[in-house]
């Protein structure tokens, strides 16, 4: 039997991917495929788009990992970005 993903982690990833896509559409940007190794700066969103994305994720997920006491460095890849939100969400839950 295949291992199942934890629903709360999968939902965080899917929310982040959905918001990436929405911001890209609204800003007329072409979004690169969202793989774990994709560098955020190569995602298709510019710095304004990423800022809007982060603000929306704070509203949607009700967490701000950038304000966390454990925040040390900015995520580089999409996978890093998702993991950062997953870690903060798990601590809050």
Name the residue range of residue 69's domain.
Answer: 7-92
**Whole-structure pTM value:** 0.83
- Render 21-54 in DSSP notation, one character per residue: HHHHHHTT-PPPP--TT-BGGGSS--HHHHHHHH
The pLDDT of residue 91 is 61
> Is residue 11 over pLDDT 90?
no
Q: Is residue 87 part of a domain?
A: yes
Q: Is residue 2 part of a domain?
A: no
Q: State how many domains the chain has.
A: 1
Q: Is residue 23 part of a domain?
A: yes
Q: Is residue 1 part of a domain?
A: no
Residues 6+ apart with CB under 8 A from 2: none
Q: Higher pLDDT residue, 37 or 73?
A: 37
Q: Is residue 72 part of a domain?
A: yes
- The CATH number for 63's domain is 1.10.1200
């Amino acid at each position: 039997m295949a291992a199942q993903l934890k629903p709360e982690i999968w939902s965080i990833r899917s929310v982040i991917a959905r918001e990436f896509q929405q911001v890209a559409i609204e800003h007329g940007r072409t979004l690169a495929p969202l793989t774990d190794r994709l560098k955020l700066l190569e995602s298709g969103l510019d710095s304004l788009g990423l800022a809007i994305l982060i603000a929306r994720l704070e509203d949607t997920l009700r967490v701000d990992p950038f304000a966390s006491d454990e925040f040390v460095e900015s995520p580089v890849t999409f996978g890093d970005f998702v993991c950062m939100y997953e870690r903060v969400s798990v601590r809050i839950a």
